[in-house]
Amino acid sequence: MDKAKFEEIVKIEKYDLYKKETYLRSMSLPSIKIKGENRSKENVGLSKQGGYPEVPEDFEWPKHKFGDYRFALQINLSEIKFETPLPKTGMLSFFIANDDDKNVFFGAKDYAKVYYFEEGTPLKTYVNPNLNYYYVDHCIRID
């Protein structure tokens, strides 16, 4: 939930959240809001959700017991405009062990894999021939 929205709901006292405010704040974690918009193929190196990842030439696609991991999203760290404990530059690429037959539980230890590529690392678009790409490229705006 957006922090401003939380503050607004606590103030109006409609749900008596002010009585639980300390507890709710203790459980809240930092987050980002992802807004998708259509992305053109020319926008190489930008944050995106879905489509084809941009990885180093020698990248080995991650595999799990039931097949290949699927590319979920990449974040160009130089696009983040707020303080984080992450590096200020480079690319994070996220892969998930999702498979069509639902063999892998999303709570499994190795369900997600994250790779960091330092700024200046030559990246290329990787099309994994083992996967069916049925989702659309998106640009990710991070608030």
Report the pLDDT value the prediction gives residue 134, as an integer from 0 to 100.
Answer: 54
- C-beta of residue 2 within 8 angstroms of C-beta of residue 33: yes
In the predicted model, residues of the chain with pLDDT beneath 50 are 136, 142-143
- pTM here is 0.71
The helix or strand, by DSSP H or E, that contains position 7, with its residue range, turns out to be helix 3-12
Look up tokens 């959700």; give the residue. Answer: 49
The first and second tokens of residue 10, run together, are 């606590």
For residue range 65-84, list pLDDT tens digits in order. 888 999 988 999 998 877 78
CATH of the domain spanning 33-142, picked from 3.10.180.10, 3.10.560.10, 2.40.50.140, 2.30.320.10: 2.30.320.10
- C-beta of residue 124 within 8 angstroms of C-beta of residue 86: no
The first and second tokens of residue 118, run together, are 């330092």
- Domain regions of the chain by residue span: 1-31, 33-142
Identity of the residue numbered 35 = K
